[in-house]
Amino acid sequence: MRWILSRYILREMWSPFILSLVILTAISLLTKAVRIIELLLVQGVGGRFIAWFVLSVLPSLLIYTLPVAFLVGVLVAFTRLSSDSELTAMKSSGLSLYAALRPVLLFAAVVFSASLLVTLYLFPWGNLSLKNLVYEASKERFVSGLEEKTFYDSFRGFVIYIDKINVKSGDMEGIFISESGGDGEPNLFFAAGGVFSPATDRQTVYLRLSDGVMHRKAEGGGAYHIADFSSYTLELGLSGQPGAAGEKRNKEMYAGELRNSIELARASGEDPSRHIVDLHKRFAIPSSVFVFALLGVPLGLQKIRVARFTGFSVAIGVVLVYYLLSTGFEALGESGSMNPYVAVWATDLIFLAAGLFVFSRTSADRPANPLAMLRGGKSR
């Protein structure tokens, strides 16, 4: 009997979970549409690049849409079971609300495992892959970001001026370059033409100059040299690019790397709070599904007229409060105003306490709504 009930409840949760997961992820992906259009029109990337771009972005979306979709699935399933009086029949057959909670917790364990896989492995992989993709597109079609007759200083130690640019071919004409010298005197390059070429190093590009002249002053204020060249290649380091000098941001690190960052910060006397918060978020967000399980079952049993539309709206309200609280606590933890461990897990603990309270009262057929409790108290 219990296994039949569990399978039935699992089927009721599965469909709204999948549907809401697809819808929420698609809506979240639309927020990246502007970036995709920019890459298509400005960088001239192809369909293969866009496919990898979407694949790299998905983990950062699934971190949040998986728990939300789980809560929607639970609420929709139990709202329907309650509105059709099927839970009433279950109770009359001698089964308690705890029996109905077992398949929900089983489903929560599955979603938790999937979420943990995303946060620990796919999330850092996706961010690294996304950075590499955008960087390579920018490097290969770097000329598309340049403007004619404009001084360009996005290369470390170089200022570049280009008179004419052929965006389709990447050929440039009338190039002036000022390179910062070691003694403060710049080295000057004048070239009739040039073109950017790819480099094996992610943080550099090569600029091949043709038919030009180089002006260089010797160190210590000595002789002034002028040299003609038919071809000359400059290695240019990109400044302001994410991950410069091979550095990773926290969201691009795996759990082991974050633990190393915490130890290094402590060893150097720095505050490791930011790294602690980012590491424990990888576990706190997936753990929220168990909290949502305790809240979703009793909330789905409340007396609401429009049952089919209730699950999604209630889920959005619960999730909104959850993420507002977690964002606020995390900000306090990162700033050092609150213990970072407490800051990360505070929201889960608060919602866990609320879930246990609401579930226990609902299982005992007592009102869980605060207003109903007040009304009940007054009537006595």
Listed by start position, the domains of the chain span 2-138+248-374, 157-237
Say how far residue 337 (Cα) sits from the centre of its chain: 25
Count of CA atoms in the C-beta half-sphere (13 A) of 90 = 22
Instruction: Record the pTM.
Output: 0.71
Alpha carbon of 271 to those of 171, 263, 337: distances in Å? 49, 10, 12
266-294 pLDDT per residue, tens? 999 999 999 999 999 999 999 999 999 99
Gap between the Cα atoms of 289 and 273, Å rounded: 25
d(CA 302, CA 319): 18
**Residue 229 main-chain phi, psi, to 5 deg:** -145, 150
pLDDT confidence of residue 142: 56
Residues of the chain scoring pLDDT < 50: 240-245, 305-307, 370-371, 373-375, 377-380
pLDDT of residue 120: 96
Q: What is the pLDDT of residue 369?
A: 58
Please report how many Cα atoms fall inside a 13 Å half-sphere around the Cα of residue 117, on the Cβ side: 7
Number of C-beta neighbours around residue 150 at 10 A? 10
Query: Residue 378 has what pLDDT?
Result: 45
pLDDT of residue 175: 92
Residue keyed to tokens 């100059």: 209
| Residues 6 or more apart whose Cβ sits within 8 Å of residue 136 | 202
Strand, coil or helix: 1:
coil
Pair 170, 190: CB distance under 8 Å: no
